[in-house]
Structure 1
């Protein structure tokens, strides 16, 4: 993972450990992400239809120096953004399902005792790992909002350049 957004998300997740180490953090995810996803999809629909036909021809074409068109790059940014949002909801729901107390099953406890495994520690450690990853994806989804915003900014900059070049003619 070479993305600076990913690295920032890891740092923020670690700094916010008090949030994800306590049960109930998933309520924030399920409250925030659906609204963000709706807003994101609406924004992307507007972006795809933005500009006149001549401008659309410009942003949909690739030139020799670029591998992808402007709109393909913006589309990839938004697909990544939405995918992370959906994944964060799924992981939050999964994390919520991992918040349980192990039933008093003597057979399982006997096997774990024989293997010198502290069941309570195992649950706490495994739950902490799942919650860290899940909350981290949520934070990564929020941080990638910056990438989506910058993609929109690049589109607006290109549009301004297009408008200014047409005024000069």
Structure 2
């Protein structure tokens, strides 16, 4: 457990913590979209969609991370490793934290979708047993279903949006690397 907490703490610090998560436009966009689509998925069908979609997205993520790690022995990795004095994290750890975050969100979405039938089965069971409901119990049941479904919708939408977020991080990293190479090439031409 200690190693898990150490690695998670390192990821969370390099990712940017709560400030980065709550300041993410992708999380806010997923939240707004979740509000808009939750009523469509109150039957629990979002979970089936998540169980069909997330493994493919996870495969994409693993492939992208494998490509990044395959550069481990290259000049590219050496160029992005190590942080500058004024930086909190190195570009290498920044992109690694982005991939880790992508993995974490996908795993959470998949597990949440996987266990969701328990919640919906409970509602079906109480209906089948024809418990005597009063209006307060019905209201709490409806609110609970909405909240549970809303969280699931936000997780699946955020998972999909993380594709764009991670691609933007990779693009930004490569743009910085290209700028550094261009500057180095210009300096070499000036020296000649």
TM-score higher than 0.5 here?
A: yes
- What are the residue-to-residue correspondences of 1:61-76 with 2, within 5 Å? 61-76=82-97
The two structures, once aligned, show a CA RMSD in angstroms of 2.2
- Among 146, 154, 166, the alignment partner of 1:128 is 146
Instruction: Give the conservation status (yes or no) of the 8 Å contact 1:92–1:135.
Output: no
- Among 152, 155, 158, the alignment partner of 1:137 is 155
Q: Deviations over 1:101-141 (max 9, x none)?
A: 11527xxx47xx6xx56444332221221111121111111
Paired residue total? 162
Instruction: Give the conservation status (yes or no) of the 8 Å contact 2:38–2:153.
Output: no
**CA distance 1:5–1:156, change in 2 (3 Å):** same
Match of 1:146 in 2: 164
**Is 1:158 paired with 2:183?**
no
Match of 2:56 in 1: 35
Where does the alignment leave 5 or more consecutive residues of structure 2 unmatched?
1-21
Q: Distance in 2 between the 1:146 and 1:63 partners?
A: 27
Instruction: Give the conservation status (yes or no) of the 8 Å contact 1:55–1:162.
Output: no
**Is 1:104 paired with 2:129?**
yes
Q: Distance in 1 between the 2:175 and 2:157 partners?
A: 28
Q: Distance in 1 between the 2:42 and 2:31 partners?
A: 15
Normalized per residue, the structure richer in helix is 2
Q: In structure 1, the residue corresponding to 2:120 is in which secondary structure? A: coil
- What are the residue-to-residue correspondences of 1:43-58 with 2, within 5 Å? 43-50=64-71, 53-58=74-79
